[in-house]
Amino acid sequence: MKTRTLAVTLLVAAALTAPAAIAETNPVKPGKWQWTMQMEIPGMPFKMPPVKFTHCVTEEDAKSAIPQNQKDKDCKLGEYEVDGQTIRWTVECPKQKTTGKGEITYDGDSMTGKMEMDADGQMMTTKYSGKRLGDCDK
């Protein structure tokens, strides 16, 4: 079950860069971003290593960068809100019996946040940090 839980969480978490329709008030700045994710699962015999990845956030992405997994059609974005520099959302994946909520706060060229997931009774938290590295590569 822990492998399934990890896979679902990584799919949802990796969706931070996937587009979804939201208001134009999104605090995400376009450019090349580097994100770090650190997952914590109670009872796990070892600490998960942080995962780092970079992604070019286009002008279009910046207008619509709410966490939503476009690859996993079983997961649906629930409630979301943009409040100043903070984005909050909920997600539900009924097939995997997974629900979660998250929050990310942007501060210019950096961001921090976390997502809490309940995967069929297994709780986990993923912490995020990120920084804008500059313009996207051509």
Mean pLDDT of 90-97: 90
Residue ranges per structural domain of the chain: 2-134
Q: What is the sign of the dihedral through the CA atoms of 78, 32, 53 and 106?
A: negative
Cβ within 8 Å of residue 35, ≥6 positions away: 16, 52, 53, 54, 55, 111, 128, 129, 130
Instruction: Quote the pLDDT of residue 58.
Output: 87
- Its pTM stands at 0.74
Quick: pLDDT tens for 56-91.
988 877 776 554 444 456 788 888 888 999 999 899
pLDDT over 70 at 113, yes or no: yes
What is the CATH code for 2-134?
2.40.128
CB-based burial label for 84 (10 Å; 0-12, 13-18, 19+): exposed
